[in-house]
Structure 1
């Protein structure tokens, strides 16, 4: 999605919903394009072919809030989603004046989420950590042959190692992209989950690994904050488990593949892609410093 194409989709969807997009403010362009409209409405534009996922995200929002897990709320008075050129547009209530959650707040929220009984009126998908990775590697026009071959082999090795993990002993409702920016704290003081498109059933470690690698492999989470996260979650520290490194390596490949997916039209993403590949290939020592995209 280019900024121009996203703006065009938003304009058509807003007209269909009876909204004015002329003063819309772009907030983010990544896996989704996100805009703020007048009336404290957030528009979220999904990828082509993701209308079913968008419908499920709206249902998940209602279900989480009904289950006592505060989450961003869909605008119930607008049609959800509106599909333009095969791309779904959903409408959400703005959460004004919020801040990212602390690690401790995130640990507490995830502990509650992971004890939730799955919904009975619709099915949550199984979390698939490798979805889209192979395609992003093999089709990326910005990769040189050496990096492409190494990444393809790295992907195959990680997939084999993951499939050899011990059988799942605990499957939970998981957020699927759990970091402080996806749990925000508004003026009410109630931590609220955002970005619900990856909510699914899976190993709870997938909601713990992002802060774990932020602590072990980067400089983003210091020891005090990480220990507060572990304590708030209930004392489980996955960095001390034999399986931690496989989760960490897969997560870092996912972050690298996301940069790859943006690099064909974004020079900043191209530079970041090369930097991330150099890191996971061992050319740059840890702790790493990767810029957000």
Structure 2
């Protein structure tokens, strides 16, 4: 019998001793999140087979809590990770009202995170995970574009192996944008979505904001300058920036082409991203990169 995400989260709550009164979905997709208002808890239902990743995310959260870095916290239920069939369900303290962090707030939070000594359980950043599989799933692309993406991915991998020296490697968030670095109504900026936390070059986190200006024009030069000044370093002046920029853009494109393979209504956006990478829309910044839900 196949359980729905609703069935899964209710079964997990029973195992964790959490009441489901008022259970409400926040987002139900490949991963699903639910709010448990009477408990002030959020439950996250992960994809099948992700038990190790879920355990690791809880471990990262506990480490940040002990290090004094604001981040989403485990709920401290009877068991913050339970398995329902092959799907892990984790429980987290509900955040107070919050908004996406500003560039300056994100920079200050990253500076605090990057200053920590890395814990022994953090593994090295994996910038190319699942990208080959996503290209394979790009059924809406012409063969010539899929072939180009595979060749481009190989070039990026080769570049990563010869990454220029930059800031000392240490703990990084891995996906530091305003949806994952938020500020509460009390003015506390904190990290959420810790699944990509790892050890790597701090520039990997800094590039996420830099390309919002240089690649897409989503933020003004003044807003990028506020980020740069608050962190105290301009990643765009580093000799390895172009490589990390290209990898980030490739990751965003691979996600889009995979989604389009399952939902053809996103095919135009996926093709646009490929066309930009291939130089068909001229130099950066490119317009027309839109969110894909």
Q: How does 1:200-211 map to 2 (within 5 A)?
A: 200-211=198-209
1:91 aligned counterpart, secondary structure: strand
| Contact 1:20–1:38 (Cα < 8 Å) also in 2 | no
The two structures have a TM-score, normalised by structure 1, of 0.89
Q: Which residue of 2 aligns with 1:35?
A: 34
Q: How does 1:128-147 map to 2 (within 5 A)?
A: 128-147=126-145
Q: Which residue of 2 aligns with 1:176?
A: 174
Aligned positions, number: 287
Q: Which residue of 2 aligns with 1:98?
A: 98
Q: How does 1:1-293 map to 2 (within 5 A)?
A: 5-19=4-18, 23-28=22-27, 32-39=31-38, 40-119=40-119, 122-166=120-164, 170-234=168-232, 236-285=233-282, 286-292=285-291, 293=293
Q: Distance in 2 between matches of 1:147 and 1:86?
A: 36
Deviation at 1:199, TM superposition (A): 0.9
Deviation at 1:178, TM superposition (A): 0.6
The two structures have a TM-score, normalised by structure 2, of 0.89
Cα deviation 1:206-265 (Å, max 9, x = unaligned): 11011110010112111111101011101x111122221110110011111222333344
CA, structure 1 residues 34+266, in 2 after alignment: closer, same or farther (shift >3 Å)? farther
CA, structure 1 residues 272+48, in 2 after alignment: closer, same or farther (shift >3 Å)? farther
Q: Distance in 2 between matches of 1:132 and 1:198?
A: 13
| Contact 1:51–1:88 (Cα < 8 Å) also in 2 | yes
- The runs of 5 or more residues in structure 1 that have no matched partner are none
Give the stretch that moved more between structures: 267-276 or 253-262. Answer: 267-276
Cα deviation 1:115-155 (Å, max 9, x = unaligned): 10122xx5101101011111211244443322211111111
CA RMSD of aligned residues (A): 2.2
Q: Distance in 1 between matches of 2:193 and 2:10?
A: 22
Q: Distance in 2 between matches of 1:265 and 1:155?
A: 22
Q: Distance in 2 between matches of 1:261 and 1:5?
A: 23
